[in-house]
Amino acid sequence: MNPGILVYGYDKHDADLICESITQTLQKPIFVTSAVDNESETINSLIDQQHQNKFEEKNTKIIMFISIKNEEIQQILKVFPINVKRPIFCGLTKHNISWPFTDLQEHLLEEQSYWEQQKSKN
């Protein structure tokens, strides 16, 4: 599978900045697909389409890395555009590839809430 990202919650301008930053970091092109207006579709279906170009500002922001190595992800995180709100980052797994995007979003928000609670306890 080609390297790419599944984006949710960003307008076109910010999605382009993110894509440009990742492309420069990896020094190779990536595909970008969006889950906006297709939230009930599975992750696999969204990736297969790779032509969803509807980008829209949302409160929840998510970026899923697809076929990008861990070392590359670490580099991307270090140079993520400072003028773009950081999302919830996640990776494609054998488990979440079959989930509807809404299930992934719910899972990530629950996880984020859990870690924020743990942080506030310390």
Mean pLDDT for the chain?
A: 93
Strand 4-8 to strand 62-66: parallel, antiparallel, or no bridges (unpaired)? antiparallel
Q: Within 10 Å of residue 28's Cβ, how many Cβ atoms?
A: 11
What are the residue ranges spanned by the domains of the chain? 4-121
Is the model's pLDDT at 117 over the cut of 90? no
Q: Which residue has the tokens 């409160």?
A: 59
pTM score over 0.95? no
Pure H helices in 1-122: 12-26, 43-49, 70-78, 101-121
Amino acid at 44: N
Based on DSSP, count helices (H) and strands (E) in the chain, helices before strands. Answer: 4, 4
Q: What is the pLDDT, as a whole number, of residue 89?
A: 97
pLDDT at 51: 62
| Lowest mean per-residue pLDDT among 34-38, 52-56, 86-90, 99-103 | 52-56
* CA separation for the pair 61, 89 (Å, rounded): 9
pLDDT tens profile 23-71: 999 999 999 999 999 999 999 999 987 666 799 999 999 999 999 999 9
15 C-beta neighbours (distance < 10 Å), count: 22
Report helix, strand or coil for 9: coil
pLDDT of residue 76: 97
